[in-house]
Structure 1
Amino acid sequence: MIPNQWYPILEAKEVGNGKPTGVRRMGEELVLWRDLDGNLVCQGARCPHKGANLADGRMKGNTVECPYHGFRYGPDGACKAVPALGSGARIPGSLRVPTHPVREAHGLVWLWWGEERAEADLPDLQIAPVVADNPKAHATTHWTRPVHYTRYIESLLEFYHITYVHRDHWFNYIDYLFLYGTARKLGLDGKERYLAATKIVNHKLETEGQTLRYSFDHQEEADPRNTTHYVITFTFPCQVHVQTEQFEATSWLVPVDDGHTEHILRWYEYPAFKPLLRAEKLRRVLPWASLYMEKWIQDVQDVRIMERQEPKISEGGVSKFIPVDELNAKYLAIRSRLIQEAAAKAPPAGETAEAAGPPAGRPAPANGRKAAGAAANGNGSGGGNGSGSGNGSGTAATVPASRAR
């Protein structure tokens, strides 16, 4: 996991006013809720009293209430009430939960994962313009798969696997008919054209900060007219945008833990149907159908392969890349560099939290201790550079200065 980055963790509409929402991200259980003014709050879900999960509790005024003994925690993470001690009791200062910086932008909730910084020092969201400024109607959903995020990202950074992975399921014939078939043959030549296109040509990689842009043609060697042009834009830590003549989609591959990844997928409308479907709601119907196909068919086929890949975590040197894997290679090289920079900035293993400076009110793996030792294998984190300009926008949740240390 790459530290000092903004990670999208769920859709903003999933966090309402009526009850807390629980998710597991970055190896930690989190609880999200909205205060009385509608501001988003994200906290560690473990009640420090006896370890119950606050996401199983309920909202009580401007606090989230533990389901076990009714302890209530405010937006600043401090415990506001202990019913067993009575209303006038002095509440120990140690009874508090970590509160994490979050922002809402582009329909998603973004979590800052890494070293603690003042709000003014947090970087902008890293969102490529092709996503941030995309005017097309779209539909979004998400699901969890039992694979490491590096393998998941790799699968979307190249598309020459599709000829071999997505060829036999009956539902793929819809792709053959409408996306690859020619009008001259009423789409019936779709499968033949799909399976014949196996060569990657005209590939070009461009790098700009934490964004990688890779364009290429997926072509039939014997008939260059049978070509699909792809543009893949990857933005660290986990955003993949794919554009072809047939479709456009954005994926965010978010670490749940070392063995699971949350796939947030956004599918955009098909321009050819826009003149026919004037209402935006109608134009979202086909993207929703595409999401359904991806979730239950295409993605399942990919995951079936990924589950059996060895090693489970990808990094430099574990694969024998060929020239058309240059985007994969570049992704792994930059990921490794960011993690190494984080390890170099992490405090010594024996240093205490007080001596290290930043308080420990952040997702647990990012506290700079165990993270430093784990960084080499891609499972740890610490303080990375988090630099680079972003064009994302959103309002940050209030992060109190008096977090528990």
Structure 2
Amino acid sequence: METLKFLTPELARQIAADYGTPVYVYDEASLKRHAEAALAFPNAFGLTVRFAMKASPNAAILRVFHRLGLHIDASSGFEVRRALHAGIPAEHISLSTQEFPEDFAPLYKHGIRFNACSLAQLERFGQLFPGCRCGLRVNPGLGSGGTGKTNVGGPNSSFGIWHEWLGEAEKIIAKYGLSVIRIHTHIGSGSDPEVWERVALMSLETVKRFPDVVTLNLGGGYKVARMATEKATDLQVIGAPVKAAFEKLAEETGRKLKLEIEPGTFLMANAGALLATVRDVVRTGGPDGMNFLKLDSGMTEILRPSLYAAQHPIVIVPAQERAAGPEQDYLVVGHCCESGDILTTGSDDPEALQPRTLPETLPGDLCVVEGAGAYCAAMTAKNYNSFPEAPEVLVGLKGTVRLIRQRQTLDQIFQNEVDE
């Protein structure tokens, strides 16, 4: 069975008592440790680590990473505004987006970096800022990810300029006198390290087409071991051949490229947990009957199992210390009136059910969903069944707990409704 990653049973009970459940809990010591590992990524001529803020955009998290020396990768104009509001310097923010912001001009003038992610975006940038500098996000024709939905490279992905259309990009660049100073690729979340390395080497060939490029951004997507049975990507192992390739390019051409990476899951996933309460324990009858744990949380706080069949460790913390009862197989389900609100999905199929073996559990016990730091609070079925957004707390380096987002009230759900 899985065990707690950074919480203790005592701390889990105290947080539940102080802030209620469900509640997201983040651990600053884990954030620091993961940031330091990313900053140690092998590189030949300099490295910038950008936190993919879409993974967890809370201002407190952004400020922690800023203090540790990380920059920011934003995926929308709204994320740019959010990072600026958190006090992140504009020159530390890079925008790569599916939707070109309506307010792009003032954002760019403010000093942000920008990667054009389509030919239309490149044309629009040229119209607004002829003669200026930008980056290009390129779809290398190869991708990898934990699932088909998290693969953002290859012919089935809309992300980036298809590598065979770079000739069209060069025409737009010449038309507006643009200078491309950055090539950006990203192939998927939970990607295969071998595929990641191949794309990195392919991207160096793309760099040769653009003489002004000084930075190659290789994205993120490094596999994180949430479950005890999973194996994480070793950044030192995958980075070594990439560093060697940068050095070889410098020997051949004299171009000393700076490296950028954009981890999100790597930094956040195992630095966060979702703390919920078991509200009910029920069983269905017949030979195929199942035991169910019903939580006061679900897809309103953690959508990944329903979307991707994502596997998260589940740890039961008894409401009070007691002798352990016999282990049982349970399906763990959420509180939404939705058949897909299931946390124990099949490992390869979000529609399949896969019970977990857990200690005997009683109503009132706490359920800790580990590996919930990335793409959980940031990506939810917000307000479905009118459940308010859950709060977020941060466990500091000295063990103190502070609130970094309040629980939403019902009045806040009402406030934007208009009845004329």
TM norm structure 2: 0.26
Report which structure shows greater RCO (CA 8 Å, sep ≥6): 1
Structure showing the higher strand proportion among its residues: 1
TM norm structure 1: 0.27
